[in-house]
Structure 1
Amino acid sequence: MSKNNKAAPPETVDEPSVDTIKKPSTLPDAQLLETTTDDIDQPSSVILPQQELKISSDLAQDIINKLAVLSELEYELERTETAKSLNNMSVRSLDKLVKKARNELNSETSESLVVDTEPHAEPVLDIASIVSLIYQILEDHIACTDAVKVAATLWILMTWFIPAAHILPIAWINAPEKRCGKSTLLTLMSRMSKRSLSTSNITGPALFRCIETYKPTLFIDEIDTFINDSENIRGVMNAGHSLENAYIIRCVGDDNEPLAFNVFGAKAISGIGKIPGTLIDRSIPMTLRRKMKSETKKRVRDLPVDITNTIQSKLARWSDDNLMVIKAAKPVLPLYINDRAQDNWEILLKIAMILGDDWLEKAHNACIEISGIESDEPSLSEQLLADIQTVFDLHETDRLLSKHLLAGLCKDPEMIWSTLNHGKPITLHQIAKRLSEFSISSKCMRALDSYGKEVRGRGYDINDFQDAFSRYLS
């Protein structure tokens, strides 16, 4: 286009030829309701509340319970949206709550490992005859001392009075050899105790979960085959001895969440030989002996179930009626036993006190006899103290060098120190470590050797032992 040419003006358009832009019409509310339809035929299997509403705990629990019965696939399809509807709960928190609801549902539908005894319909006015029957059953089946039968009888009654006790002694059924009736006594006691649960082996996690869930009277046979190798089981057994220290903490679940488990409960164990000292200290030892060929004992399988069921039923009723009486009882504890033994026997003496003077006297005598046997076996450290005192007396001196003390301990063949370490002698370091438990340590000194010559070195002064001698050997 040349510079001189001008652009032609645009053609004029007539207004009527332009389409009018129409405003959309608005339907009345009534007509809108009639023409609007919801094309969602089926709602979610979980009823989701409106987002703007605050969810109550009862409604939330109801929704969680519904989720707990869904299949795994159904739950996966619902979990995210449901968590949002529950006040924007995290999916992780919802998973934990649903899992807990499922566990509770499973525990309600699964068969319990223990059986609750129906209490006798009438009050038990002849409790003396029931206790005498228990004692006679033990007499008919077990070869043991009268003290053991008394202790076992009272321990069976104790299982029906757990709420009245602050200390629950372990019944430690032991024997020097096989075929002495350990399993037989364990079985008899389980058939007359409350909520009995018997096993020949158990793991640490199973142990504390069973106690927490079922509150059983636990009977563990052949515990000597695994207890020394399981620190976890020992810890649970020790904790379950005292009401004041009845809780253990364990991490459980996929998230390793720490939870407290109550392991306070009655436990009876049987085995041959030694068990850890901490368990012995919390136990009432019931030592059995093999019957003589001239002795005749009945078989447990011949004991009618009706008899033991009746005993359980009457003990259930008597314990219900006399719980507060047992709890309030204040028996005089024997002065000749140590504090731990007094704690172990207190609940048994409470029960004996309510049974009458005859049983209280029997319990008192059994306590002294059994605890006396127990006290005759000092710990290794106490034995070391006693033997050191002997070595000082033999040398007739107040000071001994460490090497001379070691020689004196290992010289006597009746002492255990020459073969302590798998056939090898105890070491100076081991002596020092055990004596440190009593706040006794070696020091530089002058002393006389076996020839009466004065020598110098590290050793021990008998004056440093006097407090320990008084406390642990008297």
Structure 2
Amino acid sequence: MSKHNNATPPNLVAEPLADTIKKPNILPDAQLSKTTTDDIDEPSSVILPQEDLKISSDLAQATIDRLATLSELEYELERTETAKSLNNMSVRSLDKLVKKARGKLKSETSESLVVDIEPYAEPVADIALLADQISQILDDHIACTDAVKTAATLWIILTWVIPVSHILPIAWINAPEKRCGKSTLLTLISRMSKRSLSTSNITGSALFRSIESYKPTLFIDEIDTFINDNEGIRGVLNAGHSRDNPYIIRCVGDDNEPTAFNVYGAKAISGIGKIPSTLIDRSIPLTLRRKMKSETKKRVRDLPLNVTNMIQSQLARWSDDNMSAVKEADPVLPISINDRAQDNWQILFKIAMLLGDEWLEKAHTSCMEISGSDSDEPSSNEQLLSDIKTVFSLNQTNRLLSRDLLTELRRDPEMSWSTYNEGKTITLRQIAKKLSAFRISSRDLRAFDINGNEVRGKGYDVIDFKDTFSRYLS
């Protein structure tokens, strides 16, 4: 027998060896596509399933804060696995949280625009004496009435007790002409107020972001040069007046997400001429006058910093010790001023109560001189009502044709209606629009015209004004 006769035939391969040679599993295309999808919008458990881990919010925040300190490359290497470990958070959600943490970290590490003053080591024994010192500094540098000096002094102290205030009146420093000391007073007040932040111009976005980030006492000079054309800034200043509605909503970030910003805070503004009526209504006007040639006033640059720094330090200590007392103070406000003026002056009267009877009397006198009913300038609509009432009275009639009312309004040189439209007379349509705000409209009636003839036409009956006159002119 040949030596090849013992060879094993090819079809008789050992059984165990055959089991190890198998065809690999091949997934269908649809299943393969689904398996290899990498969508960062999906939770990590969809990508890499794992057991449900419960991470506490504190630990998660600590992890996010750590990620915020990493370089861009380091973060990219960790983001997917870290998201998976944070209760299977989506990677996109982690990106947003880390971005927010980076912004907060940058804000905390950057140089602040405001300075916090260390409170005085000893309690302030006589706050009235400190108020007298502030008032004297104002008098040394500014030509103004005693009423303005008193209001400005109380407003400075106001900036140190904002946590217990409900209304924060704007300090509106104004003057009829240049070189009356507006910027000087603004600078003086800023040097004695809390967390002062001064600017001569500012955008709307910078304004609300600064208030949100730094909680400053804001000082804006030359506001008359840009406020009337900037609705965004007007909105921020108006909203920051009361705690009842202190938020504005703005879209921010790459995704333009609506975000609420708290803009409640103390603000002082200065300028020549008019500002919007909504700001006037929320302000305490500090009207200055040009000094006489015989008057001598000191220069602010010669006022030593250690003097105003000491005042700030003492006010910081006094406010820390007396915040509750200011909150509980319940002064009696003058009843002859309107409701908005009472709101504006309330916090100043609270402070005056703690300064003593002399300062409380000063506050009352100042309030009546600055915001008393005699100094309350009517709006354009209220002025029209007043002049219409005068026309009815002078003509000794209860009914006026519309055309005759227009004639009488533009006839009187004491009234402004003949030059209302940039030198041209007000129109019947404009009169009708203003009166419609009070729910008063013309109607068909019979009346005597200005020549004494009884005619029929569109006009107004005084009885339609009765309720409006009593509400707005009494």
- TM-score scaled by length of structure 1: 0.89
Q: Which moved more, 1:447-456 or 1:290-299?
A: 447-456
Describe the shift of the 1:373–1:200 C-alpha distance in structure 2 as closer, same or farther (beyond 3 A). farther
Instruction: State the partner residue of 1:131.
Output: 131
1:30 match: none
- SS of alignment partner, residue 447 of structure 2: strand
Q: 1:373 to 1:193 in 2, by over 3 A?
A: farther
Question: Does the 8 Å contact 2:182/2:270 carry over to 1?
Answer: yes
Structure 2 SS opposite 1:245: coil
Which residue is equivalent to 1:196?
196
Q: Which has the larger displacement, 332-341 or 136-145?
A: 332-341
**Counterpart position of 1:445:** 445
Contact 1:224 1:272 in 2 (8 A): yes
User: In structure 2, how many angstroms separate the alpha carbons of the residues matched to 1:13 and 1:247?
Assistant: 94
Cα offset for 1:60? 2.7
The aligned residue for residue 20 of structure 1 is 14
How well do the aligned residues superpose, as a CA RMSD in angstroms?
Answer: 2.3
CA separation in 1, counterparts of 2:265 and 2:289?
28
**1:335 maps to which residue?**
335
Change beyond 3 A, Cα 1:110–1:455: same
Match for residue 283 of structure 2? 283
Please name the residue that 1:399 is paired with.
399
CA distance in 1, matches of 2:440, 2:11: 119
Q: For 1:14-413, what aligned pairs fall within 5 Å after superposition? A: 18-22=12-16, 51-56=50-55, 57-372=57-372, 375-413=375-413
Question: Would the aligned equivalents of 2:172 and 2:268 in 1 still touch at CA under 8 Å?
Answer: yes
Question: Displacement, 1:209?
Answer: 1.1
Q: What displacement does 1:425 show?
A: 1.2
Match of 1:33 in 2: none
Change in Cα spacing, 1:101 to 1:462, as seen in structure 2 (3 Å) is same
Residue 441 of structure 1 deviates from its aligned partner by 1.1
Alignment check: 8 A CA contact 1:159 1:266 kept: yes
Contact kept, 8 Å, 1:50 with 1:85, in 2: the verdict is: no
Deviation per residue, 1:308-361 (Å, 9 max, x gap):
011011111111111111111111100111111111111101111111100000
Question: What secondary structure, in the 3-state scheme, does the structure 2 residue paired with 1:244 have?
Answer: coil
- Bigger mean CA offset, 431-440 vs 174-183: 431-440
Counterpart in the other structure of 2:37: none
Task: Write the letter of the residue equivalent to 2:150.
Answer: V
Structure 1: gaps (5+ residues): 1-10, 25-47
1:408 to partner: Cα distance: 1.0
Cα deviations by residue, 1:377-396 (Å, 9 ceiling, x for unpaired): 11000100111111112222
Alpha-carbon distance in 2 for matches of 1:377, 1:93:
54
Shift of 1:79: 3.2
Give 1:451 deviation, angstroms. Answer: 1.5
Q: Which letter does structure 2 place at the counterpart of 1:97?
A: L
| Structure 2 equivalent of residue 418 of structure 1 | 418
Task: Please give the secondary structure, in 2, of the residue aligned with 1:173.
Answer: strand
SS in 2 for 1:168: coil
Do 2:349 and 2:363's aligned partners in 1 also have CA atoms closer than 8 Å?
yes
| Residues in 2 aligned to 1:90 and 1:323: alpha-carbon distance in whole angstroms | 46
My pick for the range that moved more, 368-377 or 322-331, is 368-377
Q: Secondary structure at the match of 1:149?
A: helix
* Alpha-carbon separation, structure 1, partners of 2:59 and 2:171: 48
Alignment of 1:452-467 (within 5 A): 452-467=452-467
C-alpha distance in structure 1 between counterparts of 2:69 and 2:313, whole Å: 38
Shift in Å, 1:85: 4.0
Tell me, in whole angstroms, the C-alpha distance in 2 between the residues paired with 1:207 and 1:128. Answer: 34
Deviations 1:210-237 (A, max 9, x none): 1111111111111101110111111111
Alpha carbons 2:338, 2:373 under 8 Å: kept: no
| Alpha-carbon distance in 2 for matches of 1:68, 1:320 | 36
Q: In structure 2, how many angstroms separate the alpha carbons of the residues matched to 1:59 and 1:121?
A: 39
Q: Secondary structure at the match of 1:248?
A: strand
Secondary structure in 1 aligned to 2:244? helix
With over 3 angstroms needed to count, the CA separation of the structure-2 counterparts of 1:17 and 1:136, relative to structure 1, is closer
CA contact (8 A) 1:51 1:85 kept: no
Q: Which has the larger radius of gyration?
A: 1
How far apart, CA to CA, are the structure 1 residues paired with 2:312 and 2:217?
13
CA 344–53 in structure 1, closer or farther in 2 if over 3 Å, else same: same
CA distance in 1, matches of 2:123, 2:81: 58
Aligned-partner residue type, residue 336 of structure 2: Y
| Alpha carbons 2:369, 2:375 under 8 Å: kept | no
Bigger CA drift: 340-349 or 241-250?
A: 241-250
Q: CA deviation at 1:208?
A: 1.1
**Given that residues 152 and 189 in structure 2 are in contact (C-alpha distance below 8 angstroms), is that contact kept between their aligned partners in structure 1?**
yes
User: What is the rounded CA distance, in whole Å, between the counterparts of 1:196 and 1:331 in structure 2?
Assistant: 28
CA distance in 1, matches of 2:382, 2:59: 64
Q: Give the unaligned 5+ runs of structure 2.
A: 19-44
Distance 2:403 2:272 in 1: 38
CA contact (8 A) 1:115 1:195 kept: yes
Counterpart-to-counterpart distance in 2, 1:237 and 1:111: 25
2:337 and 2:373 in contact (8 A); partners too:
no
Inter-partner Cα distance in structure 2 for 1:151 and 1:357: 16
The runs of 4+ residues in structure 1 deviating greater than 6 Å are: none
The amino acid across from 1:20 in the alignment is: A
Q: CA separation in 2, counterparts of 1:18 and 1:319?
A: 102
Letter in 2 for 1:109: T
Distance (whole Å) between structure 2 residues aligned to residue 124 and residue 321 of structure 1: 9
Q: Distance in 1 between matches of 2:87 and 2:440?
A: 64
Q: Taking every aligned residue pair, what percent have the same amino acid on both sides?
A: 74
Q: Distance in 2 between matches of 1:236 and 1:114?
A: 20
